[in-house]
């Protein structure tokens, strides 16, 4: 199926071979002092697009990057608007802006965060770029205005916005004007001067009018270009040019009506019919015009109209696609409605059939609805809705909900399911339950007029219905209901419907994840991955792998998380066609996180450098914030705490959660950096929404552990923190969240200056080679590790951690000719007291001979020959 993106809207419109030079306006458009915004504002027919297109072609020829969008009213929906903007930027500077496309496809795109990402990519450009939004008034809406104002406010200095519009946009024009950041070209500037009128009528049209006739036309039209063009068309071939000019009068609307009638009346009947009938089309190409009119010469007619300057705008270099000038098209449609009202529905129906046959459902549905053929529109929507939802075009499908009566939908189970999917994807849950109930009744008692275009799609409906019910339960915070409906979805799934099984399994996994049952969550996501892989949805496999890795990390299983990311990367590499798959970048961020936990900061940074080379376009919706969080952790480890806060601020702006629980909120991560900076008041301010006596829940475990850290920094609240830590430890242990448990035990060890909880943490951490969780605590951890090393001098793991904390530190016991055993260390510790040999033997429950053997071994390993020297040497080596 063709992409819903209309490529010709990204072309700079082609000019006629001869145009009027307008250096006074070109200078204002292309002056050396580039403003934030250039605004070309004037009524229809004042040559805004022609002027802008001529400038853009010249600027591109001079090496300037031009990103062009010809807007329509279909772009009033923000996701559609910004998708075209990103596509235009990619045309101008390949790769720029593609990182935001996954975010725009999210069910509820966070536009501020999307724009922040886009601005960052623009800022990284070495060369300048001009973003041109032509016919902006067609897409203008309150949300679009808010977002464009945000873009304007933060544009990098080498990026400029150019807007052409019939009405001033709701942008901060006064502020931009006061700052000198606005260049304006208005109707008074756009009007042709006498010299330009002369060049236009006599040079372009070859009319040979005298100065008096030119002056009369200038006075009557006031330099209005559309009127002058229509007048020129009417004057061609007339013997009584002076008489025509003398009778030329009226205001704008009447001028246009009059002149269009004049132009139309002078066309051959075939051309006139062609103009009227094809006026229903937003875009024109030969075969489409033939389908609408029933002819076979559409391409030749369009080329002839272009040569005749009949308000036809060429949209591409190959003379394949055109459009009429908007003003001309408006008047043509009025004449069509007056002269051929009974033919309009049939014309739209033919256009719908052509677009349907060429695989362009969006214009096909629009024309079918304009034809009043609701059943044809419903057929088109039913055939295309599922695929459009897979392409994340929820806004398009959602827009059709208001156009197709629900009585029609009620008879079409596949269509009903598609529209429910659009509602769910956009987070519009209010009517979903009722629609599902209606659909269930329809399947239970199918009416005689039931409509099903694809039997294979009908088989998917029962399972998909239960999947949507599972999602509704998840939104309603009903995990038990989510799991129950997910099980039903799997049971009802049609044979081979891997997507339904995968979606239901993932939803069940989400419910378990949110409630803290991580093993059940992992099982659900593992099933989802297998189903998605069978269905060929590799990008979604990578998306699930993010969650699988997160779950294993929380469970304290770094090795399993590492294998998850590595397996996903191998799968992605096996399915590469034209380069790395989307989601590859996310796996590299995951590998960076594992390397960070192992304290291999160079490897961690290396993975992120590879991500930088790939760009955000190869990331899934959660990538932009995960990438920034990973970079923030590295900055913190390097001591750049301010840089870490700045990255976390950015991460918060681009956060996309979907249905996933937000188990490590950015605000809580930032509060930990505040603590490291010594900004206790700021950390306390964040903690105001928490209470140490809150009922504990997994989704807030990270926040409560952060709260405990904050409380420990104040003597008055330390005892409260002890109790909270005990509760958190028990909950994490019972939930099998050993990754979290390691951190809790570490904080408890520091809080109590006790080695017992630290030893427990190290016993859990050693098999997975955790390092950063310990050494990230700094000097207080060094003291505890040294105490633990004295207790267990032969245990290498704490020795390695102590060395990682301070690479220049002399390890405890360095200089021994051999490691002391646990019992020898016990003897050494008591030798440092006033106890004599028999008393030490008694204390250690060993014989005096055994005591003497241990003492002899200690002396040999220390290289000494008496007790006093042994104590001195042991103290120097950090053994005591």
Residue 67 or residue 248, greater confidence? 67
- List Cα–Cα distances, 638 to 38, 39, 228, 262, 756, in angstroms: 44, 46, 68, 76, 30
Q: What is the mean pLDDT of residues 170-184?
A: 89
CA angle 295, 297, 303 (to 5 degrees): 140
Residue 482 or residue 583, greater confidence? 482
d(CA 673, CA 649): 12
CA angle 218, 222, 223 (to 5 degrees): 75
481 pLDDT more than 70: yes
β-bridge mates for residue 70, sequence order: 134
d(CA 297, CA 319): 14
pLDDT band (50, 70, 90) for residue 765: very high
270 pLDDT more than 50: yes
Q: What is the mean pLDDT of residues 521-539?
A: 91
Which residues 6+ apart lie within 8 Å of 823 measured at CB? 844, 846, 854
pLDDT band (50, 70, 90) for residue 521: very high
pLDDT at position 2, please?
37
pLDDT band (50, 70, 90) for residue 252: very low
Domains 7-190 and 822-876 share a fold: no
In eight-state DSSP terms, residue 98 is G
Q: What are the structure tokens assigned to 363, written together?
A: 């214009």
Q: What is the largest CA-CA distance in the chain?
A: 136
Q: Name the average pLDDT for the chain.
A: 87
pLDDT at position 580, please?
84
The answer to whether the CB of 91 falls within 8 A of the CB of 10 is yes
Q: Where are the domains of the chain?
A: 7-190, 195-368, 822-876
**Helix H segments across 575-694?**
584-597, 601-614, 623-637, 641-653, 666-677, 680-686
The torsion angles phi and psi of 324, rounded to 5 degrees, stand at -80, 150
pLDDT at position 509, please?
95
The torsion angles phi and psi of 555, rounded to 5 degrees, stand at -80, 0
d(CA 274, CA 286): 11
The answer to whether the CB of 520 falls within 8 A of the CB of 550 is no
Residue whose tokens read 């819903």? 4
Lowest mean pLDDT among 253-257, 348-352, 781-785: 253-257
Residue whose tokens read 């475990």? 701
Q: What are the structure tokens assigned to 233, written together?
A: 């068309």
Estimate the crossing angle of helix 269-278 against helix 298-307, to 10 degrees: 100
pLDDT band (50, 70, 90) for residue 490: very high
Which residues 6+ apart lie within 8 Å of 219 measured at CB? none
- List Cα–Cα distances, 612 to 593, 627, 635, in angstroms: 15, 10, 16
Q: What is the mean pLDDT of residues 583-597?
A: 94
pLDDT at position 32, please?
60
The torsion angles phi and psi of 185, rounded to 5 degrees, stand at -125, 115
Tens digit of each residue's pLDDT (9 = 90 or more) over 674-724: 999 889 999 999 999 999 999 999 999 999 999 999 999 888 888 999 999
Helix (H, G, I), strand (E, B) or coil at 134: strand
437 pLDDT more than 90: yes
State the burial class of residue 803 (Cβ atoms within 10 Å of its Cβ: 0-12, 13-18, 19+): middle
d(CA 564, CA 558): 10
Tens digit of each residue's pLDDT (9 = 90 or more) over 355-405: 999 988 889 999 999 999 999 998 888 888 777 766 666 677 777 877 888
**Helix H segments across 493-554?**
498-515, 518-535, 538-554
Which residues 6+ apart lie within 8 Å of 466 measured at CB? 485, 486, 488, 489, 492, 504
pLDDT at position 114, please?
82
pLDDT band (50, 70, 90) for residue 108: low
d(CA 464, CA 175): 52
Q: What is the mean pLDDT of residues 504-531?
A: 94
Q: What are the structure tokens assigned to 200, written together?
A: 């236009």
pLDDT at position 22, please?
85
**Helix H segments across 638-754?**
641-653, 666-677, 680-686, 701-711, 718-734, 738-752
Class of domain 822-876: mainly alpha
pLDDT at position 452, please?
87
The answer to whether the CB of 571 falls within 8 A of the CB of 533 is yes
pLDDT at position 815, please?
56
β-bridge mates for residue 185, sequence order: 40
Class of domain 7-190: alpha beta
Residue whose tokens read 């027919």? 45
Percentage, residues of the chain above pLDDT 90: 43
β-bridge mates for residue 129, sequence order: 65, 159
pLDDT at position 238, please?
76
Nearest alpha carbon to residue 694 among 660, 728, 665: 728
Tens digit of each residue's pLDDT (9 = 90 or more) over 309-362: 666 777 877 778 898 876 678 778 888 999 999 999 999 999 999 999 998 888
Residue whose tokens read 């098209």? 329
pLDDT at position 818, please?
67
187 pLDDT more than 90: no
């Amino acid at each position: 199926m063709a992409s819903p993106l209309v490529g010709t809207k990204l072309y700079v419109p082609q000019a006629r071979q001869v145009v009027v030079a307008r250096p006074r306006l070109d200078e204002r458009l292309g002056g050396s002092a580039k403003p934030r915004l250039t605004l070309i504002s004037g009524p229809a027919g004042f040559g805004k697009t022609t002027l802008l297109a001529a400038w853009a072609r010249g600027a591109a020829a001079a090496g300037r990057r031009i990103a062009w969008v010809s807007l329509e009213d279909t772009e009033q929906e923000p996701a559609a608007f910004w998708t075209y903007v990103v596509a235009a930027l990619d045309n101008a500077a390949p790769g720029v802006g593609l990182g935001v496309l996954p975010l725009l496809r999210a069910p509820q795109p966070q536009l501020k965060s999307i724009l922040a990402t886009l601005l960052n990519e623009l800022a990284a450009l070495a060369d300048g770029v001009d973003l041109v939004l032509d016919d902006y008034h067609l897409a203008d809406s309150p949300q679009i205005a808010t977002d464009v104002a945000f873009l304007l406010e933060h544009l990098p200095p080498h990026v400029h916005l150019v807007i052409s519009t019939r009405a001033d946009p709701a942008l901060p024009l006064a502020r931009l004007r006061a700052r000198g950041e606005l260049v304006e070209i208005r109707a008074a500037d756009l009007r042709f001067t006498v010299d330009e009128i002369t060049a236009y009528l006599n040079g372009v049209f070859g009319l040979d009018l005298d100065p008096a006739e030119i002056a009369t036309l200038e006075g009557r039209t006031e330099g209005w270009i559309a009127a002058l063009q229509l007048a020129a068309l009417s004057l061609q071939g007339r013997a009584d040019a002076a008489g025509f000019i003398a009778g030329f009068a009226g205001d704008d609307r009447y001028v246009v009506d009059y002149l269009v009638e004049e132009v139309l009346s002078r066309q051959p009947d075939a051309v006139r019919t062609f103009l009227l009938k094809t006026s229903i089309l937003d875009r024109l190409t030969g075969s489409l015009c033939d389908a609408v009119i029933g002819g076979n010469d559409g391409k030749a007619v369009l080329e002839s109209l272009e040569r005749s300057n009949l308000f036809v705008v060429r949209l591409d270099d190959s003379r394949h696609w055109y459009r009429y000038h908007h003003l001309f098209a408006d008047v043509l449609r009025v004449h069509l409605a007056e002269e051929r009202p009974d033919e309009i529905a049939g014309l739209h129906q033919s256009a719908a059939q052509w677009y349907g046959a060429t695989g362009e459902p969006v214009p096909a549905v629009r024309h079918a609805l304009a034809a009043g053929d609701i059943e044809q529109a419903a057929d088109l929507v039913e055939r295309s809705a599922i695929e459009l939802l897979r392409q994340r075009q929820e806004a398009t499908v959602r827009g059709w909900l208001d156009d197709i009566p629900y009585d029609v939908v009620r008879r079409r189970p596949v269509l009903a399911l598609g529209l429910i999917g659009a509602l769910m994807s956009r987070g519009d849950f209010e009517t979903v339950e009722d629609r599902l109930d209606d659909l269930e009744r329809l399947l239970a008692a199918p009416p005689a007029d039931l409509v099903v275009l694809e039997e294979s799609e009908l088989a998917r409906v029962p399972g998909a219905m239960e999947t949507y019910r599972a999602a509704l339960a998840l939104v309603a915070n009903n995990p038990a209901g989510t799991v129950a409906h997910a099980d039903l979805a799997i049971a009802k799934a049609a044979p081979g419907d891997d997507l339904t099984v995968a979606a239901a399994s993932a939803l069940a996994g989400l419910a378990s994840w949110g409630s803290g049952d991580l093993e059940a969550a992992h099982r659900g996501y593992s099933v989802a991955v297998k189903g998605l892989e069978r269905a060929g949805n590799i990008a979604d496999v990578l998306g699930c792998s993010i969650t699988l890795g997160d779950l294993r990390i929380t469970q304290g299983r770094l090795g399993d998380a590492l294998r998850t990311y590595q397996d996903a990367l191998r799968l992605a590499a096996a399915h590469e066609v034209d380069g790395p798959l989307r989601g590859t970048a996310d796996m590299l961020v995951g590998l960076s996180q594992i390397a960070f936990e192992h304290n291999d900061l160079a490897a961690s940074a290396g993975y992120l450098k590879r991500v930088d080379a790939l760009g955000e376009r190869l990331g899934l919706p959660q990538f932009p914030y995960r990438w920034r969080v990973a970079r923030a952790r590295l900055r913190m480890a390097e001591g750049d705490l301010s840089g870490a806060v700045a990255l976390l601020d950015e991460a918060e702006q681009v956060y996309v959660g979907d249905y996933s629980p937000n188990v490590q909120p950015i605000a809580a991560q930032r509060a930990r950096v505040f603590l490291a900076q010594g900004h206790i008041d700021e950390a306390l301010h964040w903690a105001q929404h928490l209470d140490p006596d809150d009922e504990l829940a997994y989704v807030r475990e990270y926040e409560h552990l952060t709260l405990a850290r904050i409380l420990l920094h104040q003597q008055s609240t330390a005892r409260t923190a002890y109790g909270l830590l005990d509760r958190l430890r028990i909950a994490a242990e019972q939930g099998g969240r050993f990754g979290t448990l390691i951190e809790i035990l570490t904080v408890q060890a520091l809080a109590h200056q006790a080695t017992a909880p630290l030893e427990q943490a190290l016993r859990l951490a050693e098999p997975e080679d955790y390092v950063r969780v310990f050494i990230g605590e700094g000097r207080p951890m060094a003291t505890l590790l040294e105490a633990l090393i004295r207790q267990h001098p032969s245990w290498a793991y704490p020795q390695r951690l102590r060395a990682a904390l301070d690479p220049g530190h002399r390890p405890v016991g360095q200089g021994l000719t051999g490691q002391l055993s646990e019992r020898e260390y016990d003897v050494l510790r008591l030798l440092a007291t006033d106890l004599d040999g028999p008393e030490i033997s008694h204390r250690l429950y060993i014989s005096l001979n055994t005591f003497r053997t241990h003492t002899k071994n200690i002396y040999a390993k220390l290289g000494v020959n008496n007790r006093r020297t042994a104590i001195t040497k042991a103290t120097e080596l950090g053994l005591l």
